[in-house]
Chains A and B, each alone.
Chain A
Amino acid sequence: DIQMTQSPSSLSASVGDTVTINCQASQSINTYVNWYQQKPGTVPKVLIYAAFNLQSGVPSRFSGSGSGTDFTLTISSLQPEDFATYYCQQSHSPPYTFGQGTKLEIK
């Protein structure tokens, strides 16, 4: 099974900052990574699919990069509504595992 190791597990930042969240796969998965945002009490929402493709309706301050085993989600110019938990997920081969999550909090 492919393990997805996400870091950091939590992150404190201010409005206007740029933050990066990392995800490392235990084996090469090409660009089969998706990123999700979840706010408390709500359903997860896909932000980025296939490593760098922005889902329709998602603000352009979100971007994804990487291939092989190392992937990054970058959020530029943080907005108040961006404080949430973020997850990576590999869709290369089953089981389609998630990372442990990164909780982004307001500093």
Chain B
Amino acid sequence: QVQLVESGGGVVQPGRSLRLSCAASGFTFRTYGIHWVRQAPGKGLEWVAVILSDGINEYYTDSVKGRFAVSRDNSKNTAYLQMNSLRPEDTAVYYCARFGAGLDNWGQGALVTVSS
């Protein structure tokens, strides 16, 4: 069955970096775009970024442009979200999700807390 598993979350000080991983299984990873969506505590869903199946095209929401970077390693069936210059407002649960019929499969989420 399709599975996405995030890892790498944790508590980090403002200005520091963190890298999330999204390990995929149960489908042909290289043929799907992988999206990152976050949800701050008690708030709604916010789309963050995507890396398309070609591994070349990537897009970001304005608030993370220049700070976050997505990548993927199709040989490892894994996508990454590199988060630099983290801010308190980046505190959220971060989900990776596969785009098939909409975002049809999601990981369980990784909590990132940015606090001094």
> Within 8 Å of chain A (Cβ to Cβ): is B26?
no
Q: Is the CB of A49 within 8 A of B102?
A: yes
What is the bound-complex CA distance between A36 and B106, given in angstroms?
A: 12
Least Cβ–Cβ distance between B108 and chain A, in angstroms:
6
A to B contact number (C-beta, < 8 Å): 66
- Which secondary structure dominates where chain B touches chain A? strand
The interface size of chain A toward B, counting residues with CB under 8 Å, comes to 27
Q: Is the CB of A97 within 8 A of B106?
A: no
Chain B residue at minimal CB-CB distance from A102: B44
A42-65 contact mask (Cβ, 8 Å, vs B): 1 or 0: 011110111001011000000000
Chain B residue at minimal CB-CB distance from A85: B44
Further contacts, 15 of them, CB under 8 A, given A46-B102, A96-B50, A98-B46: A43-B109, A44-B37, A44-B103, A46-B101, A48-B102, A55-B104, A56-B101, A85-B44, A89-B102, A89-B103, A91-B99, A95-B61, A95-B62, A96-B47, A98-B45
What are some 23 contacts across the A-B interface (CB < 8 A)? A34-B103, A36-B45, A36-B102, A38-B45, A43-B106, A43-B108, A43-B109, A44-B103, A46-B101, A46-B102, A46-B103, A48-B102, A49-B102, A49-B104, A50-B101, A87-B45, A91-B99, A94-B60, A95-B47, A95-B61, A98-B37, A98-B44, A99-B44
